[in-house]
């Protein structure tokens, strides 16, 4: 099962249980969406290529009592729709779950138009919005459940790599928003999304702990503090520009609690990645590769 299958399977199950759940898209094709539309044609709508309208229609449906899932390419729905997300979706604290397909450099070869490498920093400033960044299919399904249960506006970043899940069903860590996926004693690697797997492989055989952060906003500060307190060295790995990333949240936790830690960041640079900036190329260049992370851990 891939990320999209996990997403649409969970939405489909919710739609069978709750007649008020609807799903809409801005002309992004998905097999799971087609299956939903076949069973619930009146509750699955393709609005065409009109991102801002996607959010405004979602708001109208929510005001009419519907619980809305809306999806499109992450960079498009985050930046073309910023005003609509703020005013139509979040001011009213509406039950809308927006799914951004392809966070970070998922669509790296398509250039800056498709890079979602600043979206968390931008959307994270908007009150009432909860942001999830799942790293595996189990976390995807649970993110859908958690977002639905909030009853308010949420943003789920949906990647597409296939990896063995590090999250398990029905564990307490989901509520905390953070899971320690590898024990360690010297260095703590805090990662989110797909880079968690690079971090795990890099930490093999090393005295480094690895934790995956599922909920990016509101930042799970209590859970992060509990982890951070036990280590002198913290490495944050996030396929996002540094500003507004997981690194920013970790900085807040350290500063607010007057902690003294050696803090390092593996993030993307403050620049546009032009040309064919594939994920593999960027990971080699900016220190996300397993070898680069392994070397950093050993420093």
Among the candidates 103, 129, 158, a domain finishes at 158
Task: Answer for the pair 118, 241: CB distance below 8 angstroms, yes or no.
Answer: yes
pLDDT given for residue 132 in this prediction: 98
pLDDT given for residue 100 in this prediction: 98
- 106 with 197, same domain? no
- 151 with 177, same domain? no
SS3 content of the chain, % helix, strand, coil (to 5): 40, 20, 35
Query: What's the average model confidence in pLDDT over 199-222?
Result: 97
pLDDT given for residue 5 in this prediction: 95
Question: Which domain CATH number covers 249?
Answer: 3.40.50.920
Domain membership of residue 16 (yes or no) is: yes
Instruction: Name the residue among 213, 217, 224, 218 with its Cα closest to residue 255.
Output: 224
pLDDT at 171 over 90: no
Query: What's the average model confidence in pLDDT over 242-249?
Result: 98
Among the candidates 123, 158, 193, a domain finishes at 158
Domain membership of residue 163 (yes or no) is: no
Distance CA 212, CA 167 (A): 9
Whether the upstream peptide bond of residue 218 has omega within 30° of 0, thus cis, is: yes
Distance CA 256, CA 86 (A): 27
- 128 with 253, same domain? no
Question: Which domain CATH number covers 9?
Answer: 3.40.50.970
Place 200 in a pLDDT band, splitting at 50, 70 and 90. Answer: very high
Among the candidates 158, 193, 220, a domain finishes at 158
Place 161 in a pLDDT band, splitting at 50, 70 and 90. Answer: confident
Domain membership of residue 166 (yes or no) is: no
Domain that holds residue 247: 171-298
pLDDT given for residue 275 in this prediction: 82
Summarised one tens digit per residue, pLDDT across range 125-151 is: 999 999 999 999 999 999 999 999 999
- Counting the structural domains of the chain, the total is 2
Domain membership of residue 164 (yes or no) is: no
Summarised one tens digit per residue, pLDDT across range 15-35 is: 999 999 999 999 998 999 999
Residue 249 has φ and ψ, to the nearest 5°, of -65, -40
- 152 with 182, same domain? no
Place 162 in a pLDDT band, splitting at 50, 70 and 90. Answer: confident
Distant-in-sequence, close-in-space partners of 258: CB < 8 Å, separation ≥ 6: none
Q: Give 267's DSSP letter.
A: E
pLDDT at 257 over 80: yes
pLDDT at 85 over 80: yes
pLDDT given for residue 258 in this prediction: 98
pLDDT at 274 over 80: yes
**Three-state secondary structure string covering 156-168:** EEECCCCCCCCCC
Domain membership of residue 96 (yes or no) is: yes
Structure token digits, residue 41: 């044609």
Residue 246 parent element (H or E) = helix 246-256
- 185 with 222, same domain? yes
pLDDT at 170 over 80: no
- 208 with 136, same domain? no
- 120 with 267, same domain? no
- 194 with 293, same domain? yes
Residue 273 has φ and ψ, to the nearest 5°, of -100, 100
Q: What is the mean pLDDT of the chain?
A: 96
Please indicate, yes or no, whether the overall pTM of this predicted structure exceeds 0.75. yes
pLDDT at 265 over 90: yes
pLDDT at 276 over 90: no
pLDDT at 239 over 80: yes
Domain membership of residue 246 (yes or no) is: yes
- 203 with 112, same domain? no
Domain membership of residue 100 (yes or no) is: yes
- 208 with 140, same domain? no
Query: What's the average model confidence in pLDDT over 145-162?
Result: 96
Domain membership of residue 194 (yes or no) is: yes
Query: What's the average model confidence in pLDDT over 191-215?
Result: 97
Distance CA 292, CA 212 (A): 19
- 7 with 140, same domain? yes
Query: What's the average model confidence in pLDDT over 211-229?
Result: 98
Distance CA 65, CA 72 (A): 22
- 139 with 184, same domain? no
Distance CA 224, CA 248 (A): 12
Place 59 in a pLDDT band, splitting at 50, 70 and 90. Answer: very high
């Amino acid at each position: 099962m891939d990320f999209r299958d996990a997403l649409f399977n969970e939405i489909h199950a919710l739609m069978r249980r709750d007649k008020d759940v609807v799903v809409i898209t801005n002309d992004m094709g998905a097999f799971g969406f087609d299956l939903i539309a076949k069973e619930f044609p009146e509750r699955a709508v393709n609005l065409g290529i009109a991102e801002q309208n996607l959010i405004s229609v979602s708001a109208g449906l929510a005001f009419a009592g519907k619980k809305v899932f809306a999806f499109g390419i992450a960079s498009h729905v985050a930046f073309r729709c910023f005003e609509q997300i703020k005013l139509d979706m979040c001011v009213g604290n509406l039950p809308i779950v927006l799914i951004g397909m392809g966070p970070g450099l998922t669509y790296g070869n398509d250039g800056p138009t498709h890079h979602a490498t600043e979206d968390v920093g931008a959307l994270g400033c908007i009150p009432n919005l909860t942001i999830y960044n799942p790293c595996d299919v189990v976390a995807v399904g649970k993110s859908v459940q958690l977002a639905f249960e909030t009853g308010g506006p949420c943003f789920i970043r949906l990647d597409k790599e296939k990896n063995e899940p590090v999250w398990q069903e029905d564990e307490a860590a989901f509520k905390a928003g953070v899971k320690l996926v590898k024990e360690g004693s010297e260095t703590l690697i805090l990662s989110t999304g797909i880079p968690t797997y690079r971090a795990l492989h890099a930490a093999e055989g090393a005295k480094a702990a690895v934790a995956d952060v599922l909920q990016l906003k509101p930042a799970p500060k209590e859970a992060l503090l509990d982890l951070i307190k036990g280590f002198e060295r913290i490495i944050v790995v996030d396929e996002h520009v540094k500003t507004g990333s997981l690194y920013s949240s970790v900085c807040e936790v350290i500063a607010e609690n007057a902690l003294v830690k050696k803090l390092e960041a593996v993030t993307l640079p403050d620049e546009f990645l032009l040309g064919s900036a594939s994920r593999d190329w960027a990971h080699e260049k900016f220190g996300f590769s397993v070898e680069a992370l392994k070397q950093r851990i050993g420093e």
